[in-house]
Structure 1
Amino acid sequence: MVANMGSKEEKFQELDAFIESLPTIKGELIRVLHRAQHIFGYLPEEVQRYVGKKMNVPTAKVYGVVTFYSYFTMVPKGEHDIAICLGTACYVRGAEKILDAIKKETGIEVGQTSADGKFSITGLRCIGACGLAPVLTIGEKVYGRLTPDMV
């Protein structure tokens, strides 16, 4: 997730340009939210309201989509987002111990971002790499067959 470094106004202009480039906005809410998160780095209430207004979708529906999918976030993420899978396969193979080691190393809890903005921790239900359990991602790179001492 790479946030555009421009002003807020420039970010909204970039989002407008993306929405206007779509042949139709019907059925494109998730795609627009992905782009908005890419531009802003996260999806605060202001951005959700804006997307809803631009797409003629109730803000409640936008919020429902944002909170349903684990990819979306309503809080700023750290430069390095550590997302640990807590799904069944990973959990029974020690994901909780991996998570404890990460929390100890970073000094933050799940859902938090370090004070320096370097790290954030996210808990996910499944990332689809059960054969490598326990797994986590940092950015878009997947790390599997982890042990606490590897943290």
Structure 2
Amino acid sequence: MEERLQEILAPYKGKSDALIPVLQEVQAELGYLPEEAMMAIAKTTGVPESHVYGVATFYAQFYFTRRGKNQTKVCTGTACHVKGAARVIEAFERELGIDCGCTSEDFEHTLETVACVGSCALAPVVVVNEEVHGQFQSSSIGKVIEDLKE
């Protein structure tokens, strides 16, 4: 990881104004922002560690623990809530064997909720690896998970 991290950080040496892009790029490569990466980002950009952590913790897009290869997000916005998001979450928890907000032990799946994905007319909505599934039925979970294995 160290060598790849240094390759990513090299273009950002001394560029304190590029903090968010470097955080995004490191997370895209590693899947999350481990402590050693955060310290390396601070050192490379010249931004104090406290500021790097402050920015990273402010935005919900950044993660500090390893996440699953497959990420499932169940919308819990008003329309999705009314149309059964809670039942969809429960069904995913049963099928994946993890609680919402957690990652499976094999790091294959992360299950979480999101406030709104902006597709209210398609409620309930589930986003799996950036693919939107509208009018989602709990009975579709098996097929969605099977498709991930291909």
TM-score calculated relative to the size of structure 1 = 0.81
65 and 97 in structure 1: CA distance in 2 versus 1, 3 angstrom threshold: farther
Distance 1:47 1:79 in 2: 19
**Bigger proportion of residues as helix:** 2
Equivalent of 1:99, from 86, 89, 112? 89
How far apart, in 1, do the equivalents of 2:84 and 2:26 lie?
35
Question: How far apart, CA to CA, are the structure 2 residues paired with 1:130 and 1:18?
Answer: 40
Counterpart for residue 7 of structure 2: 14
Q: Name the stretch that deviates more: 83-92 or 33-42.
A: 83-92
Alpha-carbon RMSD: 2.0
Which residue of 106, 111, 114 maps to 1:116?
106
Report how far residue 55 of structure 1 moved. Answer: 2.0
- How many equivalent residue pairs? 141
Q: Distance in 1 between matches of 2:40 and 2:34?
A: 10
Summarize the Cα distance change of 1:18–1:127 in structure 2 as closer, same or farther, 3 Å threshold: farther
Map 1:2-151; keep pairs closer than 5 Å: 8-20=1-13, 25-151=15-141
Structure 1 runs of 4+ aligned residues shifted over 4 Å read none
Conserved 8 A contact 2:15-2:46: no
- Unmatched 5+ stretches in structure 1: 1-7
How far residue 122 of structure 1 moved from its aligned partner, in angstroms, is 2.1
The CA distance in 2 between the partners of 1:55 and 1:89, in whole Å, is: 43
Unaligned ranges ≥5, structure 2: 142-150
Q: Which residue in 2 is equivalent to 1:5?
A: none
